[in-house]
Chains A and B, each alone.
Chain A
Amino acid sequence: MAYSFPEEVLEYVLSFIKSDKDRNAVSLVCKSWYEIERWCRKRVFIGNCYAVSPMIMIRRFPEIRSVEIKGKPHFADFNLVPEGWGGYFYPWVIAMSKAYPMLEAIRLKRMVVSDECLEMIAKSFKNFRVLVLSSCEGFSTDGLASIAANCRNLRELDLRESEVEDLSGHWLSHFPDTCTSLVSLNIACLGSEVCFSSLERLVSRCPNLRKLQLNRTVPLEKLPNLLCRAPQLVELGTGAYSAELRPESLSNLVNAFTGCKKLKALSGFWDVVPLYLPAIYPVCCGLTSLNLSYANIQSPDIIKLVSQCQNLQRLWVLDYIEDSGLDVLASCCKNLEELRVFPSDPYELEPNVPLTEQGLVSVSEGCPKLHSVLFFCRRMSNAALVTIARNSPNLIRFRLCILEARAPDYLTNEPLDAGFGAIVENCRKLRRLSLSGFLTDRVFEYIGKHAKKLEMLSIAFAGDGDMGLHHVLSGCDSLRKLEIRDSPFGDQALLANAAKLETMRSLWMSSCSVSYGACKLLGQKLRRLNIEVIDERGTPESRPESCPIEKIYIYRTLSGPRFDTPNFIWTMDEEGNSPLGIA
C-alpha cells in the first residue's frame, strides 16, 4: 500500500525550498511531486530568453510572482553582437500580463525593453514591486514615468547600466506623494538632471530606503540634504564628487556621512575632487563594498581610503591604484573577497601606471578569502599565475585580461599555458574563467583535464586548432556557457562534440573557423538546439559551404527556431536544406 504524503504537507515543505536547482530536483522525483511543485513555484529564472517560450513557462508554472530573464549573449557587452539581434521583452510582458496578474518582480539582463513594455507593466500588475533592468535598452524616461506614476507598491527600481533614451529628468516627479514604499533606487545610468526637490521629497517619505544610487548630475553640495533624510541607507552611489570649494561644503559632507551609521557600500565618485574624499572616512570602517572604478584619483588618495576599510569585501577600482596600492590592500583588507581592477587607458599599449602582475600576486598572498578576480593589466608571467594559484586555491571566478592580445609571458616569452594550467589545477572550485595572452592548445588540455566545476569559459585569440576546443568540450563536465572569439577552432571539434552542446546553455563563436557546411550538419543532427548563423555579409548560401561564417550562436531550446531573427541571422533547419531565414 503506497503511503502518500498529503499535498498540503509537501507544499508546506516546498515553501522552504527556494533555489532553482533544488526545485528542479524536486520536480523530477515523480509525477505528483512535479505537479505539486509546479503549482507552488513562485520564482523562475530563464537564462536564455529563447530557450523557452512564454507560453511554455506559463503552462508549467501558473503561480509565478517573480521572473528573471536574460537575453543577449555576453559578448554583446563588447559590441560583438550586431544591432537588432533580438532579446525582446515584449512577447513576455504580453503573455504575463494575462497570465500573472499578481506578478511582483521582473529582473532582466541584456534585453530590449520598450516604453510600451514598461507601460504594460505599470498597467497590468497591481502588486508590482521590483523592476531591475540590467544592461537593457530600448526604453526612454517616458517609460520610467509610467512605472513611477502607476506602481503603487514599488520597492525597487534599478536601472543598472542600461541604455536609456534620456528625454528629461522630469519622470522622477511622477512618483505620487503617496508612494512611500521605495527600498532601492538606482538611476546612476541616467544623464539628465532630475528635479532635486522631487528627489529630496521622495527620499524623505520612504523610510525603508536602503539603496540609493544617484546619477552624475546630482551635485555634491546637495548630497548632505539627501543623506540626512536617509540616515538608514545601506548602499549609496554618489553623483559627481566635485564641488566649488566652499568652507562649509566639506564639513556638511562629513556630518552627513557621519550620520549614516549603516552604510556598507559606496559607489559613484565621478569627477572626484580629492579634497572631498576625507568626508567618507567616518564610514570606511563599516564598508564592505567600495566601487571607485569611475574615480580618476591617484594612488595616494586611493591608499588613504582603502587603508581605513578593514572590513572591505569587495573593491572595484581603476589601475590608478598601482602595485603599491594593491600592496596596501593586501595588508589592510583581510576580508577581501572580490577585486576588480579596470584600465584607465585601455587603448594605450605602453604602461601609463605602475600596475603589474605583482599587485595581483600581493593581493592573493594577503587576502585568504579572495574568490573573485577581474584584472586588467599589461603584462603577466607564468610564475605569477602559479603563485596566485597556490595562494588562492578557493578562487571561484578568475578573469584576466592582458590588454595586448596574445601577449606571452613577459619574462620568458613563452605561452601562458602553464600559468593558467596551474590556476585550473589548484583552484578546484573555479566556476568562471576568462583567458588572455598567448595560449596554445596545451592550456585547453589542462582546462579539460582539471576544470571540472567550470561553468563559464571565455576565450579570445587563443589556441592552435581544433584540439583546443575538443579538450574543452570533452573535458569540462560542468560547462554551461562557452564564448570564443578570434581563435582557430573549427568544424571537427564541434561535430565530434555535438552532443555536448545539448548539455550547455549556449555556445558563441565569432571569427573562428567554423564552416557553413558544418553548421548545416549540426542543424540536422541536433534537433533541440538552435544553430544560428550570424553573417552580415549576406546569405551564407551565396558562398561555398567550406567558407567560414562570421559568427555562430548555438543554444538549447524547447521552442524551436525563433521568429524574430533579423535578416543577418539564419537558423539551420532540421532537414539540412536551405535554412530558415525569416525576416
Chain B
Amino acid sequence: MESIRIEETGLNLEATELRLGLPGRDKIEKETISSFNKNKRAAPKSAEDDESKANDDIKHHHHEAAPAAKAQVIGWPPIRSYRKNNFAPKKAEAEYGNYVKVSMDGAPYLRKIDLKVYNGYTDLLKALENMFKLSIGEYSEREGYKGSEHAPTYEDKDGDLMLVGDVPWDMFMSTCKRLRIMKGSEARGLGCAV
C-alpha cells in the first residue's frame, strides 16, 4: 500500500463540523469537540461558564431543583455504571429517606412525609395542600403566606419555629425537623416583618 507522508498539518475543524450527537444538540457538547485543538480546558469548565451566563430564571429554577444541573460529558470520568449505581451516598439518612412529621392544627393525627421526594417548595406545598385538603397560597418574602387560610411552618435544628420558604431548599431539607401547618390567624404574627 502506498505510504502517506505525515505532515504536521493543523486541523480545519470548522470544515469538519464534528459533533457528538444529532444536529441542534447541546452547545456544551459542541464546545467539547471544538476546543480540543486549543490549549484550553475541556467541557466541564466551559459548561460552567455557560451556566453562569444563563439567565436568572433558569438559575433560580436550578437552585430549587435537585442538584444534577452540572453539564456532564458522556462517559467521563470513566466510572462504570455498576459502580455509579451501587455507591452509597454520603448522608446516612439518604438510604432511608428524610421523613418528618407534619401536624396540622385541629387535625386528629399527624402525618409523615419524606422531604427527599420533593423537588422544591412548590412541590412540597402542593403535596401538603393535597394531603390536608387545604390551600396555602403563595409565598412572599415580605408577607409570608398572607391571604391564605394556613401557613406552613417548621421546627428547625435549634428548636425554633420558622416560616417555610425563607431559606434555600437544600438548607431547609437539612434543618427541618418537623412541619406544622398553622391556622392563618395564628400565622399572621409570624408573617409580619419585624
Interface residues of chain A, those whose CB is within 8 Å of chain B, are: 75, 77-80, 135, 161, 163, 189, 216, 270-271, 293-294, 296, 342-347, 349, 376, 401, 403-407, 434, 438, 458, 460-461, 464-467, 470, 485-488, 490, 492-493, 495-496, 498-499, 511, 513, 515, 525, 536-537, 546-548, 550
B194 within 8 A of A: no
Q: A296's closest neighbor in chain B, by CB? A: B88
| Secondary structure type dominating chain B contacts | loop
Residue of A whose beta carbon sits closest to that of B76: A405
Pick 28 A–B contacts, CB within 8 A, sort by A: A78-B76, A79-B75, A271-B88, A271-B95, A294-B86, A401-B78, A404-B41, A404-B42, A404-B44, A405-B76, A434-B78, A464-B37, A465-B8, A466-B9, A467-B8, A485-B75, A486-B33, A492-B4, A495-B4, A496-B5, A511-B18, A513-B16, A536-B21, A537-B21, A537-B23, A548-B17, A548-B18, A550-B19
A453 to B8, CA, bound (A): 27
Chain B residues 3-58 with CB under 8 Å of chain A are: 3-11, 13, 15-23, 32-33, 36-37, 39-45, 48
Q: A346–B70 Cα gap in the complex (Å)?
A: 12
Q: Which of A79, A403, A407, A498 contacts B74 (CB 8 A)?
A: A79
Q: Which range holds the interface residue count of chain B?
A: 35 or more
Which of B7, B16, B37, B41 is A547 in contact with, Cβ under 8 Å?
A: B16
Contacting residues, chain B, for A349 (C-beta < 8 A): 44-45, 48
Contact B11 A342 (CB under 8 A): no
B-chain residues with CB within 8 Å of residue A80 when the two chains form the complex: 74-75
A-contact 0/1 string along B78-120, CB 8 Å cutoff = 1111111011111000010000000000000000000000000
B residues in contact with A458, CB < 8 Å: 78
Shortest CB–CB separation between residue B23 and chain A, in angstroms?
Answer: 8
A217–chain B nearest beta-carbon distance, Å:
13
B134 within 8 A of A: no
Cα–Cα distance between A461 and B44 once the two chains are bound (Å): 12
A434 to B76, CA, bound (A): 13
Q: Is the CB of A342 within 8 A of B4?
A: no
B73 at interface (Cβ–Cβ under 8 A)? yes
Are B80 and A466 in contact, CB atoms less than 8 angstroms apart?
Answer: no
Other-chain contact of B81, A75, A79, A293, A511 (Cβ < 8 Å):
A79
Q: Contacts A135-B82, A499-B1 known; A465 to B10 CB distance under 8 Å? A: yes
Contact of A406 among B15, B42, B79, B81 (CB under 8 A): B42
What residues of A have a CB within 8 angstroms of the CB of B42 in the complex?
Answer: 404-406, 461, 486
**Smallest distance from the beta carbon of A75 to chain B beta carbons, Å?**
7
Contact assessment for A346 and B16 in the assembled complex, using a CB-CB cutoff below 8 Å: no
* Contact between A546 and B16, CB atoms less than 8 A apart: yes
**B4 contacts A465, C-beta separation under 8 Å:** no
Task: Kindly list chain B residues whose C-beta atoms are within 8 Å of the C-beta of A407.
Answer: 41
Residue B135 is within 8 A (CB to CB) of chain A in the complex: no
| Residues of chain A within 8 A of B83, CB atoms compared | 293-294, 342
A550/B20 in contact, CB under 8 A: yes
* In the complex, residue of chain A having the shortest beta-carbon distance to the beta carbon of B78: A78
- Asked whether any CB of chain A lies closer than 8 Å to the CB of B77, the reply is yes
Task: Looking at the assembled complex, report how far the CB atom of A474 sits from the nearest CB atom of chain B, in whole angstroms.
Answer: 9
A78 and B75 in contact (CB under 8 A), knowing A293-B83, A406-B41? yes
B175 at the interface (CB under 8 A from A): no
A498 touches B82 (CB 8 A): no
